[in-house]
Amino acid sequence: MLLREPFVEITKTKKRGNLKMKISKETMAVLPDLKPLEAPKDLSKEKIEKILYNMCAIRAFDSRVKELWMANEIYGLAHSYVGAEAIGVGACEALEEADYISSTHRGHGHTLAKGAPIKQMMAELFGKYEGLNRGKGGSMHIADVDIGMLGATGIVGSGMPIALGAALSSDVLGRNTVSICFHGDGGTNQGVWHESLNLAAVWNLPVVFLIENNQYAIATKLGRVARETELYKRAAGYGIEGKVVDGFNVFDVYKTVKKAVDKARKGGGPTLIEARYMRILGHFVADDQHYRDPKEVDCCWEADPVLRIKDYLIESGIFTEKKVEQIENAAKQEVEDAIEYARNECTEPPAETLYDDIYANGEVIK
Amino acid sequence: MSVINVRQALNDAIREEMEKDESVIIMGCDVALRGGPFGVTLGLLDQFGEKRVRDTPISEPAFTGAGVGAAATGLRPIVEILYSDWLTLCTDQLVNMAAKMRYMFGGKVSMPLVVRAPFGAGGGVAAQHSQSFEAWFNHIPGLKVVAPITPYDVKGILKQAIRDDNPVMFFEHKRSYQIKGEVPDNEDYTIPFGKAVVRREGTDVSIISYSMMSIRAQKAAEELAEQGISCEVIDLRSILPLDYETVMSSIAKTNRVVVTQEANLRGGLASDIVAEIIDRGFDLLDAPPVRVGAPNVPMPYNSGLEKICIPSEENIIEAVHKVLSND
């Protein structure tokens, strides 16, 4: 099997919408059908503004995180959500405040979209005591259970049963909340992925399994590790509904997830949604992606979800260019303020906090 | 007081806690309709219904992980792993999620999860149904690990485990279900973790034990008494946290210690306990501590070979003689 497909010229097709690049047949096959953006009628202008703001905030946040990591200001590992903004934001917009999400190692976008405070998030990435997790989680374990964000996780696929468990709580306690389990195409090859779909289906739990199919499990392309790459089709094996959406299109994500969430809330059980896109940046912030053809990456920038929504909002007359710019600048400013806060106003966790929160209620077992 | 067996003690503990607190649920393979593979959960489905008593597919990672997610969002799940050997399947969820979420999240989550795991050897169930993995979980900060053996302790400690806001690994010995003992009637008691019990007082050697080994240690002590050797038998009941105060005050009296476990010896709890004893009170010891455990082999099927692999009263007696002869 070829690791890199030779690039051949593909003429622009109607199906592919606004893609202009020469891309390989393989890439062509796995890219989503780029559907034209269309704001759904149930979204108010305020909500659309919030969507744009959140997408821009995530873009700014993770763009700056990459720079800060390169400058040694952020420690450890960080995985960028750049390029996936439409998925996290579109999906979380379909949720209520009391609903839950579980996340992945690429969790900044989910956390922000669910409503976590950007300052405390940035402080956490700086490892500060004022951070969301007291400087003990960092990028890979960022969480905010108070707002229903059940945590990023460094073990691929391990968030599956966590979202399922939150749905179980809802079912037993009659809370009527819904959970979304974000996970990647890499996660779909874990045993627990299959088990969780089956268990959620047979217990008819209010959970939406949302695959962020970015085509790469670290450096391995999906087609090299799965024969069936149309992942939503796997839903049939568990007797649930499977849907595929344009993962570069926030409104397409929102509409499909909203339907699935509404169905789950009414007792209709789980749905599997494949948000198909393609990772633009590397697996983690310093991944040079030498295993990919750069043309493939260029091609993805053509479908940049942030660019797409900005263009759409201006072209459709929903917002003026100036308004869009204002929203984007405000988001960027919030991120800059958060960096200043983390850098200058926060403190290192004292050594005395080392044993804090291993056990409940201040119990220490040494 | 009534005399009941361990099976009933487990059932009573679960039932009483489910009656008291609607957030307590139980799930696992065959726990509902069949009443559990060992009959521990009989009658619970009828009393509490299928939302709270759930048969699961044979999917340990998914249903254990569901327990973790449920514990993080308001339930107090009891997850039953049919044989503790299959904890290997769901260890990711226990070690990487349940044990660490509170810490990773800066204290922002609670994790009131109980994992019941029938463990221990005997009965010819061979290499994949006989193991004792308590040392694995003792190694993980964030977990609690208990292994009571009498009906009184089993009931009180399971009730405590269900009320605890931390993930608790509850190891019940699968050969213990018929063990009988007195349990108070109509008394809602719990037993705090980290409190050992002196099962028999003695002056010559301290024998540290838990679960089935505490019963074997008591029998060994009876026999040794006939030989004029006075053993103090300590039943730890709780492994993490572990009551080193009781252990060390016993050693202060006897100056000699034998530490027992049913698991194979290498990397086991006995080694860890001995190391801790040395750290805390090397000067109290008149002889090097002696460990009792199984040989480092997978459990063989053949009953004769199996017998060699289950630490016995005789092994404990030999160990006591060894610690006494080694000045």
pTM, rounded to two decimals: 0.95
Same domain, B321 and B177: no
Residue A352 lies in a domain: no
Q: Which two tokens stand for residue A289?
A: 């992606």
Question: Among A191, A197, A222, which Cα is nearest to A209's?
Answer: A197
Place of tokens 């993980």: B140
Residue B109 lies in a domain: yes
Mean predicted lDDT score pLDDT of chain B: 98
CA distances from A277 to A82, A112, A305 (A): 12, 20, 10
Residue A26 lies in a domain: no
B86 neighbourhood in chain A, CB within 8 Å: none
Question: Among A104, A212, A155, A158, which Cα is nearest to B62's?
Answer: A158
Determine, for residues B72 and A166 on separate chains, whether the beta-carbon distance falls below 8 Å.
Answer: yes
B113 neighbourhood in chain A, CB within 8 Å: none
- The range of the structural domain enclosing residue B118 comes to 2-183
Q: How many domains does chain A have?
A: 1
Same domain, B166 and B220: no
Determine, for residues A143 and B108 on separate chains, whether the beta-carbon distance falls below 8 Å.
Answer: yes
Q: Which two tokens stand for residue A364?
A: 């220490």
Q: Where do runs of H (alpha helix) occur along A128-190?
A: 160-173
Q: What is the per-residue pLDDT for A24?
A: 66
Residue A316 lies in a domain: yes
- CA-CA distance, A242 to A33, in Å (whole number)? 16
Determine, for residues A155 and B71 on separate chains, whether the beta-carbon distance falls below 8 Å.
Answer: no
- The range of the structural domain enclosing residue A299 comes to 42-345
Determine, for residues A198 and B59 on separate chains, whether the beta-carbon distance falls below 8 Å.
Answer: yes
For residue A146, the 8-state DSSP code is G
B56 neighbourhood in chain A, CB within 8 Å: 199
Question: Chain B: nearest CA to A159, how far in angstroms?
Answer: 8
Residue B191 lies in a domain: no
**In this structure, are residues A40 and A251 in contact, taking their beta carbons and an 8 Å threshold?**
yes
Q: Binning pLDDT at 50, 70 and 90, where does residue A23 land?
A: low
- CA-CA distance, A90 to A86, in Å (whole number)? 6
Same domain, B142 and B24: yes
Considering only CB atoms, B142 lies closest to which of A145, A160, A358, namely A358
Determine, for residues B110 and A172 on separate chains, whether the beta-carbon distance falls below 8 Å.
Answer: no
- Give the full edge-to-edge strand order of the sheet including B290-294: B197-200, B231-235, B205-209, B257-264, B290-294
Q: Binning pLDDT at 50, 70 and 90, where does residue A300 land?
A: confident
Q: Which stretches does DSSP call E strand in A257-323?
A: 271-276
Same domain, B248 and B151: no
Considering only CB atoms, B97 lies closest to which of A137, A158, A175, namely A158
Domain final residue pick, B161, B183, B205: B183
Residue B66 lies in a domain: yes
3-state secondary structure of B326: coil
A136 neighbourhood in chain B, CB within 8 Å: 103-106
For residue A34, the 8-state DSSP code is -
- CA-CA distance, B109 to B106, in Å (whole number)? 8
Determine, for residues B106 and A203 on separate chains, whether the beta-carbon distance falls below 8 Å.
Answer: no
Residues 79-118 of B with CB under 8 A from A: 92-93, 96-97, 100-111
Residue A59 lies in a domain: yes
Nearest residue in A to B71, CA atom:
A165
Residue B282 lies in a domain: yes
Q: What is the per-residue pLDDT for A33?
A: 82
3-state secondary structure of B294: strand
Same domain, B13 and B82: yes
Same domain, B151 and B224: no
**What is the ipTM for the molecules in this complex?**
0.95
Residue B192 lies in a domain: no
3-state secondary structure of A72: coil
Question: Chain B: nearest CA to A163, how far in angstroms?
Answer: 6
CA end-to-end distance (rounded Å), chain A: 52
Q: Where do runs of H (alpha helix) occur along B21-121?
A: 44-48, 60-71, 87-91, 101-104
What number of other Cβ atoms are within 10 A of residue B182's Cβ?
Answer: 12
A154 neighbourhood in chain B, CB within 8 Å: 96
Residue B119 lies in a domain: yes
Considering only CB atoms, B73 lies closest to which of A134, A166, A359, namely A166
For residue A339, the 8-state DSSP code is H
> Is 50 exceeded by the pLDDT of residue A57?
yes
Question: Among B128, B101, B323, B310, which Cα is nearest to B207's?
Answer: B323
**In this structure, are residues A272 and A209 in contact, taking their beta carbons and an 8 Å threshold?**
yes
CATH number of the structural domain spanning residue B227: 3.40.50.920
Overall size of chain B counted in residues: 327
Q: Which two tokens stand for residue B219?
A: 């029998």
- CA-CA distance, A70 to B286, in Å (whole number)? 58
pLDDT tens, position by position, A214-233: 999 999 999 999 999 999 99
**In this structure, are residues A121 and A74 in contact, taking their beta carbons and an 8 Å threshold?**
no
**In this structure, are residues A165 and B70 in contact, taking their beta carbons and an 8 Å threshold?**
yes
User: Average of pLDDT values for A164-174?
Assistant: 98
Say if residue A266 is exposed, middle or buried (CB neighbours under 10 Å; 0-12, 13-18, 19+): exposed
State which H helix or E strand residue A286 sits in.
none
Q: Where do runs of H (alpha helix) occur along A136-281?
A: 160-173, 191-202, 222-225, 250-265
Considering only CB atoms, A169 lies closest to which of B64, B75, B144, namely B75
Q: Which two tokens stand for residue B275?
A: 């190391």
Domain final residue pick, B183, B214, B247: B183
Nearest residue in A to B74, CA atom:
A169
Nearest residue in A to B243, CA atom:
A365
Q: Binning pLDDT at 50, 70 and 90, where does residue A17 land?
A: very low
CATH number of the structural domain spanning residue A220: 3.40.50.970
Same domain, B137 and B259: no
> Is 80 exceeded by the pLDDT of residue B294?
yes
Same domain, B14 and B61: yes
Place of tokens 């819904």: A178
Helices (H) and strands (E) in chain A, counts: 12, 7
Q: Binning pLDDT at 50, 70 and 90, where does residue A22 land?
A: low
Same domain, B136 and B234: no
Q: Binning pLDDT at 50, 70 and 90, where does residue A297 land?
A: confident
To test the contact with chain A by mutation, choose from B48, B105, B109, B115 the residue with the greatest count of A C-beta atoms within 10 A, namely: B105
Amino acid identity at A168: L
Determine, for residues B70 and A168 on separate chains, whether the beta-carbon distance falls below 8 Å.
Answer: yes
B240 neighbourhood in chain A, CB within 8 Å: 365
Q: How many domains does chain B have?
A: 2
Q: Which stretches does DSSP call E strand in B6-130?
A: 24-28, 53-55, 76-80, 114-119
pLDDT tens, position by position, A307-335: 999 999 999 999 999 999 999 999 999 99
Between strands B24-28 and B76-80, the pairing is parallel
Q: Binning pLDDT at 50, 70 and 90, where does residue A3 land?
A: very low
Domain final residue pick, B131, B155, B183: B183
Same domain, B38 and B162: yes
Same domain, B241 and B126: no
pLDDT tens, position by position, B22-59: 999 999 999 999 999 999 999 999 999 999 999 999 99
Residue A53 lies in a domain: yes
Is B173 annotated in the active site? Answer: no
Residue B188 lies in a domain: no
A164 neighbourhood in chain B, CB within 8 Å: 62, 65-66, 69
Residue B250 lies in a domain: yes
Residue A240 lies in a domain: yes
pLDDT tens, position by position, A247-285: 999 999 999 999 999 999 999 999 999 999 999 999 999
Determine, for residues B65 and A202 on separate chains, whether the beta-carbon distance falls below 8 Å.
Answer: no
- CA-CA distance, A50 to A45, in Å (whole number)? 9
Residues 293-322 of B with CB under 8 A from A: none
CATH number of the structural domain spanning residue B60: 3.40.50.970
Q: Which two tokens stand for residue A113?
A: 């979209």
Determine, for residues B62 and A192 on separate chains, whether the beta-carbon distance falls below 8 Å.
Answer: yes
> Is 80 exceeded by the pLDDT of residue A16?
no
> What radius of gyration do chain B's Cα atoms show?
20
Residue of higher predicted confidence among A7 and B276:
B276
Residue A20 lies in a domain: no
Nearest residue in A to B65, CA atom:
A161
Amino acid identity at B199: R
CA distances from A127 to A332, B103, B249, B280 (A): 21, 14, 43, 35
> Is 90 exceeded by the pLDDT of residue A21?
no
Considering only CB atoms, A357 lies closest to which of B71, B106, B164, namely B106
Q: Which two tokens stand for residue B185?
A: 């009637």
Residue A113 lies in a domain: yes
Nearest residue in B to A148, CA atom:
B73
Same domain, B16 and B89: yes
- CA-CA distance, B91 to B112, in Å (whole number)? 17
Buried b (16+ CB within 10 A) or exposed e, B282-307: eebbeeebbbbbbeeeebbeeeeebe
How many interface pairs between A and B have CB atoms less than 8 angstroms apart? 168
